[in-house]
Amino acid sequence: MGPGPSMVAPSVLQALGKPVLGHLDPEFVKMMEELKTMLRLVFQTNNEMTFPVSGTGSAGMEFCFVNLVEPGDEVVIGVNGVFGTRMVDVAERCGAVVTRVDAEWGRIVEPQQIADALKKVAKPKVVAVVHAETSTGALTPVEEISKLARDAGALFLLDAVTSLGGCPVRTDDWNVDAIYSGTQKCLSCPPGLSPVSLSPRALETAARRKKKVQSWYLDVNLLASYWGQDRVYHHTAPISMNYGLHEALRLALEEGLAARFERHRLMHERLKNGLATLGLSIVSQAGHQLWQLNAVGVPAGADEAALRRRLLQEYSIEVGAGLGPLKGKITRIGLMGETAREENVDRVLSALGAALR
What is the phi/psi pair of residue 317, to 5°?
Answer: -120, 120
Write the CB contacts of 252 (distance below 8 Å, at least 6 apart in sequence): 42, 165, 187, 260
Does 273 lie in the same domain as 249? no
Does residue 123 sit within a domain? yes
Question: 67 with 208, same domain?
Answer: yes
Q: Are residues 226 and 333 in the same domain?
A: no
Are 227 and 264 in a shared domain?
no
**41 & 178 share domain:** yes
Domain extent at residue 266: 257-356
pLDDT of amino acid 300 = 86
Domain boundary among 212, 228, 253: 253
Q: Are residues 342 and 229 in the same domain?
A: no
CATH number at residue 347: 3.90.1150.10
**CA pair distance 134, 346, nearest whole angstrom:** 22
pTM of the model: 0.97
Task: Measure the CA–CA gap between 337 and 321, rounded to whole angstroms.
Answer: 20
Q: 221 and 146: one domain?
A: yes
Residue 5 forms part of a structural domain: no
Choosing from 238, 253, 268, the residue where a domain stops is 253
Looking at the structure, tell me whether residues 245 and 262 fall in a common domain.
Answer: no
Cα 84–182–160 angle (5° rounding)? 45
Beta bridge partners of 197: 50, 179
Q: What's the length of the chain? A: 357
Among 323, 289, 285, smallest CA distance to 132 is for 289
Q: What Å distances lie between residue 127 and 61, 68, 73, 150, 211, CA to CA?
A: 13, 11, 11, 9, 21
Q: What is the pLDDT of residue 95?
A: 98
pLDDT, residue 74, reads 98
Query: What pLDDT does 301 receive?
Result: 87
In a domain, 2, yes or no: no
On whether residue 65 sits in a domain, the answer given is yes
For each successive 10 residues of the chain (357 residues), what is the average pLDDT? Answer: 97 97 94 98 98 98 98 98 98 98 98 98 98 98 98 98 98 98 98 98 98 97 93 94 98 98 98 97 98 96 94 97 96 98 98 93
DSSP of 100-155, one letter per residue?
Answer: EEE--TTSPPPHHHHHHHHTT-SSEEEEEEESEETTTTEE---HHHHHHHHHTT-E
In angstroms, the CA 143 to CA 190 distance is 30
> Quick one: pLDDT at residue 229?
84
Residue 127, in any domain of the structure: yes
What is the number of domains present in the chain? 2
Q: Is 1 part of any domain? A: no
Domain harbouring 73, CATH code: 3.40.640.10
Residues 323, 106: Cα–Cα separation, whole Å = 11
Single-letter amino acid code for the residue at 288? H
Q: Which among 218, 253, 288 is the end of a domain?
A: 253
Q: Are residues 296 and 226 in the same domain?
A: no
Within a domain: 17: yes
